[in-house]
Structure 1
Amino acid sequence: MINVGFYYKVKRGFEKDFENKFKEVLSYLRANADGFVDAKLYKNVDEPSEYLIYSVWRDLDSFKKFVSSSAYKNTVNYGKSIIESKPIHRILQEIND
């Protein structure tokens, strides 16, 4: 398993747009992305325009396949209009004992 954290700072006034787009993408992933397990959206309690999308994937190849898809690229292009600064992405691999 791998986990991916996407950290975003959304332009003020576009928070609901961002949240709605997350719901759309989540529905798409559940129906179409092989290897996708789940994702959750978190909002920073101290800075409500900052978000974390925490996703779980079966393996790194599944995630890489998604980020090379046209669906992902279309979402990124849309995001450029409502994201304040370049997002930060962290990919973490689960350690099994």
Structure 2
Amino acid sequence: MVTVGMNYVVLPGKQGEFEEKFAAVLGALDAADGHTSSTLWRDVVNDASYLITSEWNDEDAFKAFITSDAFRSVTSWGKAEILAGRPSHKVYKH
């Protein structure tokens, strides 16, 4: 099993839109092979900063998801409309 932490900073005023989109993306995550669960966290100091933690059976399952058309369409929209910068992620193996 691996946990993936994905860090995002959104444009000012776009927090609600980002949270709504995450709720929609959760359906795609739940349908992805190897995905166990995901949670959206918001920074209490900087409310434009978010962390999504996702549990996966293995790193290959996560890599398959982030190279999928579903993920690509969401990230293209996010880059153009919501995000203040490039997101980053880290894989934690356990």
Task: Classify the TM-score, shorter chain.
Answer: over 0.9
How many residue pairs get aligned? The number is: 93
| Matches for 1:4-15 after TM superposition, within 5 Å | 4-15=4-15
| Matches for 1:1-97 after TM superposition, within 5 Å | 1-30=1-30, 32-80=31-79, 81-94=81-94
Moved more, 40-49 or 81-90: 81-90
In the TM superposition, what is the alpha-carbon distance from 1:7 to its structure 2 partner? Answer: 0.5
Q: What RMSD over aligned residues (CA atoms) do the two structures have, in Å?
A: 0.7
In the TM superposition, what is the alpha-carbon distance from 1:52 to its structure 2 partner? Answer: 0.2
In structure 1, what residue type is equivalent to 2:48? S
SS at match of 1:62: helix
Runs of 4+ in 1 over 6 A off after TM superposition: none
> Percent identity between the aligned chains?
38
In 1, the alpha carbon distance for the partners of 2:87 and 2:60 equals: 21
- Higher radius of gyration, 1 or 2: 1
Gaps spanning 5+ residues in structure 1: where? none
In the TM superposition, what is the alpha-carbon distance from 1:29 to its structure 2 partner? Answer: 1.6
In the TM superposition, what is the alpha-carbon distance from 1:87 to its structure 2 partner? Answer: 1.0
In 2, the alpha carbon distance for the partners of 1:47 and 1:71 equals: 29
TM-score w.r.t. structure 1 length?
Answer: 0.93
1:9-40 deviations in Å (ceiling 9; x for gaps): 1001110110011111111221x201000000
SS at match of 2:5: strand
TM-score w.r.t. structure 2 length?
Answer: 0.95
Gaps spanning 5+ residues in structure 2: where? none
